[in-house]
Amino acid sequence: MLIQELPLYPIQESISYSPNNSKEINMPQQSTHPLTPQKTLDNLLQNIFPQNKEENKIIQTRKLLDKTAENLSDEQIHCIVAEFQFLINSWLDEYEKEIFGGMTLKEILNEQ
C-alpha cells in the first residue's frame, strides 16, 4: 500500500506569463498559516460563543472548590473571590512595604 502525505493547507498554484509570449509555470507553493489549526478553531469558537471573564472565573473557582461549591450561588462565589483577592493584595502590599522601606513595588517602579 502506497502512503501519500497530504499538505495541511491548500496549495496555491500560480501561473505567470512573461512578455515574450512564453509561458512560465511556477511550482505549486504551500501557503503558510501563522496559527495552528487548533488555535484557529479555538479562536473561532471564542468568537461564536464569547464568555464573560467573570463567568470564566466563577467556572474555574467552581472546579477548584469541587464539592464545596455545590451549595454556593454564583454571587456567593463572586463575593468569595473578591474578598480573597482583596486580602491577597493588601497582604502583598504590606509585605512589599516591609521589604522595600515603606514603599510598594509599583511605587518603586514608577519612581524610576
Does residue 101 form part of some domain? yes
Does residue 93 form part of some domain? yes
Does residue 50 form part of some domain? yes
Q: What is the pLDDT of residues 1-27, one digit of tens each?
A: 566 665 565 555 555 555 555 555 555
- Counting the structural domains of the chain, the total is 1
Q: What is the pLDDT of residues 26-69, one digit of tens each?
A: 555 544 555 566 677 777 777 777 667 777 888 888 898 888 88
Task: Label each residue of the chain as H, E or C.
Answer: CCCCCCCCCCEECCEEECCCCCEEECCCEECCCCCCHHHHHHHHHHHHCCCCHHHHHHHHHHHHHHHHHHHCCHHHHHHHHHHHHHHHHHHHHHHHHHHCCCCCHHHHHHHC
- Selected residue with higher pLDDT from 102 and 14: 102
Residue 53: the pLDDT is: 72
Does residue 102 form part of some domain? yes
Does residue 24 form part of some domain? no
Residue 18: the pLDDT is: 52
Does residue 1 form part of some domain? no
pTM of the entire predicted model = 0.47
User: What's the domain range around 80?
Assistant: 37-111
Does residue 48 form part of some domain? yes
